[in-house]
Amino acid sequence: MLRIGLTGGIGSGKSTVAARLQARGAVVVDADRLAREVVEPGAPGLARITEEFGSAVIAPDGSLDRAALGAVVFADPAARRTLESITHPLIQARTRELFAAAPRESVVVHDVPLLVELGMAPGYHLVVMVHADEQVRHERLVSDRGMDPQAARSRIAAQAGVAQRRAVADVWLENHGSRKELAAKVDDTWDRRLAPYNQNLLTGTRARMTGPARLVPPDPTWPAQAARLIARLKHVLGDRAVVIEHIGSTSVPGLAAKDVIDLQLGVSHLADADDPAFIADLAAAGFPRMDGNTWDSPKSWDPDIAHWQKRFHGGSDPGRIVHLHIREVGSAGWTAALVFRDWLRAEPRERRAYEAMKRQLAGATDSTGEYAEAKEPWFDAAFDRARQWAMATGWQSA
């Protein structure tokens, strides 16, 4: 089951996206609808709200006067937190029920207005963000919903800003055009990413590059992408992951690279990574175990292959190729990956030499496998230089 977090600022068009995803076959769990459900007349949530905020927020027919309650909580952060402490546990319990009831093969879209504000992003395989500029959203709220202009500004100001939204978004849908244009963007996202990702998830398949290795210019968003992946892995594994770090070429600013995010997950003992529950949890999160690739090539300064053992998982998301290397913390392989990264970050001349070598081999090999194998002789010498740099500078892992 692929879990998608869908969000966007008020007036962004999130509900339109949710409806289109549902038309494409997704199961949509609407947090706003559940929020209304848990405060219907006779529901425990409404009784608690009455106790906290008084009868002034109750309409003559006994239902919740949303406008009256909104006027209170959107002007008072403490009151908003009180309301959330009442409704959120009830909404979460109902959400779990609906997720559990969805068929295993489903793409489940969780439509959550406050996903960013509540720190929920790591709990999904992907976060889809619907965006429109503040002025556009304000105009929609006033003209389409009949909202008071000042109230509209207050609602927009109370939500997360653009930078916060970008930090958690895997898919960014701009919505400044027509509904037809937005629907086309949703369809493209479904066809190219969501449906294939779900199929990979169901079959335990990793997404991978095919054909010759292709280098791309440095992408300044690579660190943010890695941070989102690391947050998801931590959410899934908890303390079983001692440390998770971004390694490889995409972790080195200014370095051209294959568009692959390499992550190193450190465990206390490599046997921890072989626990069936550990493997199953990673697979369910979109990182299935891959056979083979159980050791790194030993270097001259530590030729014992036992110190270079690892496990390898690949990411199932076709929109973001991920290599997850699991190594024992403190092992030769774990240390070498971090030293090599930090050495390249610190030494511009070595970084340029590495990029030149990569470009030469990318043009002379027919597959990514051949490309990786062809780099090994250079690595043997480079790791010696990196180790000497680490000793000279007193390098220590963070």
Q: What is the per-residue pLDDT for 23? A: 97
Is residue 16 marked as binding?
Answer: yes
* pLDDT of residue 398 exceeding 80: no
CA angle 395, 324, 337 (to 5 degrees): 20
**222-393, CATH topology level:** Beta Polymerase; domain 2 (3.30.460)
Beta-ladder partners of 264: 245, 325
Q: What is the per-residue pLDDT for 47? A: 93
Is residue 249 marked as binding?
Answer: no
User: Which pLDDT band, with edges at 50, 70 and 90, does 119 fall under?
Assistant: very high
Give the torsion sign (CA, 318, 322, 323, 324): negative
User: Which pLDDT band, with edges at 50, 70 and 90, does 187 fall under?
Assistant: very high
Candidate ranges 34-38, 151-155, 173-177, 317-321; pick with highest mean pLDDT: 317-321
Distance of CA 13 to CAs 8, 101, 178, 183, 307, Å?
8, 27, 10, 11, 53
* pLDDT of residue 28 exceeding 80: yes
Q: What is the per-residue pLDDT for 62? A: 93
Q: How far apart are the first and last CA of the chain?
A: 36
Amino acid at 374: A
Q: What is the per-residue pLDDT for 391? A: 95
* pLDDT of residue 368 exceeding 90: no
- Of the candidates 193, 256, 195, 262, which has an alpha carbon nearest to the alpha carbon of residue 225? 262
Q: What is the per-residue pLDDT for 152? A: 87
The DSSP H or E segment spanning 110 is strand 107-111
Is residue 14 marked as binding?
Answer: yes
Per-residue DSSP letter, 13: S
pLDDT, averaged across the chain: 94
Give mean pLDDT, residues 390-395. Answer: 96
Q: What is the per-residue pLDDT for 374? A: 84
The DSSP H or E segment spanning 275 is none
Q: What is the per-residue pLDDT for 18? A: 97
User: Which pLDDT band, with edges at 50, 70 and 90, does 158 fall under?
Assistant: confident
pLDDT above 70 as % of the chain: 100
Q: What is the per-residue pLDDT for 11? A: 87
Q: What is the per-residue pLDDT for 362? A: 85
Is residue 15 marked as binding?
Answer: yes
Would you say the pTM of this structure is higher than 0.85?
yes
User: Which pLDDT band, with edges at 50, 70 and 90, does 278 fall under?
Assistant: very high
The CB-side HSE value for 240 (13 A sphere, CA atoms) comes to 18
Q: Which of 62-66, 114-118, 223-227, 372-376 has the lowest mean pLDDT?
A: 372-376
Q: What is the per-residue pLDDT for 369? A: 82
Token representation of residue 240 = 């079983």
Is residue 315 marked as binding?
Answer: no
